[in-house]
């Protein structure tokens, strides 16, 4: 998929992996719509990027705001061609322990934001892409989801988070098959331990230990590396129906 001149929606694009992806797609010539609940950061990044960038306040679990963001991306010369969902939340709690059973409402909320929110972005973006004129290779668009290696190597306390990310991995192939006949690809990236705002609050020593666990390179992943893979996924049309681990060969231990 040619990025230059395409409309790109980046949900969860106000910080971390999403912000880096928004910058990479914009640099490649896309008209980028950043959708996020954090209006202050989202508007700041849109202003930083300047022309061909805008911000839409949207919670990924709500159809109306996400549809509005999709509609904004459709205004690009070539329509909405790229959708990337990086929105998500985390939570740590054992299935049962001294404090009793896992909080069911919290489990539900993690699933709602991470899994249902991702699918909401995917379904609305894909529906819009079906109306695109196919390019010379027959392609109408590409949708990228964000899972986590916790989908495969969930640690103690990650039942909710791992279930939500495992669901994203599970929907990737059937969604790709659903859309293949219309030239829309679906790919999921499963990052390992990345240097995002979530980890920025940790002490330097703890951050160093997390990086040391990664076989090579023995450091935290950089958001720009996630963004580089997202761009490659867009440009390489043989990538479809796949979940790509981006983790430096890390396999998470139980704790």
Tokens of 95: 């299935």
Task: Find out whether 189 and 145 touch, Cβ atoms under 8 Å.
Answer: yes
Task: Find out whether 200 and 210 touch, Cβ atoms under 8 Å.
Answer: no
161 is an active site residue = yes
Exposure class string for 18-57: b at 16+ Cβ within 10 A, else e: bbbbbbbbbebebbbbbbbbbeebbbebbeebeebbbbbb
Total residues belonging to the chain: 255
| Cα(12)–Cα(30) distance, integer angstroms | 17
**List 55, 161, 194, 226, catalytic entry:** 161
Hey, which residues are catalytic here?
161
């Amino acid at each position: 998929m040619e990025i230059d001149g395409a409309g790109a929606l980046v949900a969860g694009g106000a910080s971390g992996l999403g912000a880096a992806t928004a910058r990479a797609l914009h640099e490649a010539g896309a008209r980028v719509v950043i959708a996020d609940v954090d209006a202050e950061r989202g508007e700041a990044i849109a202003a930083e990027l300047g022309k061909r960038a805008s911000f839409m306040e949207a919670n990924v679990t709500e159809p109306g705001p996400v549809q509005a963001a999709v509609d904004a991306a459709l205004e690009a010369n070539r329509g909405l061609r790229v959708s990337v969902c990086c929105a998500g939340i985390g939570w740590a709690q054992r299935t049962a322990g001294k404090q009793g059973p896992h909080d069911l409402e919290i489990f539900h909320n993690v699933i709602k934001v991470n899994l249902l929110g991702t699918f909401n972005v995917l379904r609305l973006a894909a529906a819009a892409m079906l109306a695109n004129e196919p390019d010379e290779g027959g392609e109408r668009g590409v949708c990228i989801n964000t899972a986590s290696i916790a989908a495969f190597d969930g640690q103690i306390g990650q039942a909710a988070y791992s279930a939500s990310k495992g669901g994203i991995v599970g929907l990737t192939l059937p969604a790709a098959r659903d859309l293949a006949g219309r030239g829309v690809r679906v790919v999921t990236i499963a990052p390992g331990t990345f240097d995002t705002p979530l980890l920025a609050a940790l002490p330097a020593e703890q951050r160093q230990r997390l990086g040391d666990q990664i076989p090579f390179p023995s450091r935290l992943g950089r958001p720009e590396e996630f963004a580089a893979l997202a761009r490659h996924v867009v440009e390489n049309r043989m990538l479809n129906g796949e979940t790509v681990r981006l983790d430096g060969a890390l396999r998470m231990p139980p704790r």
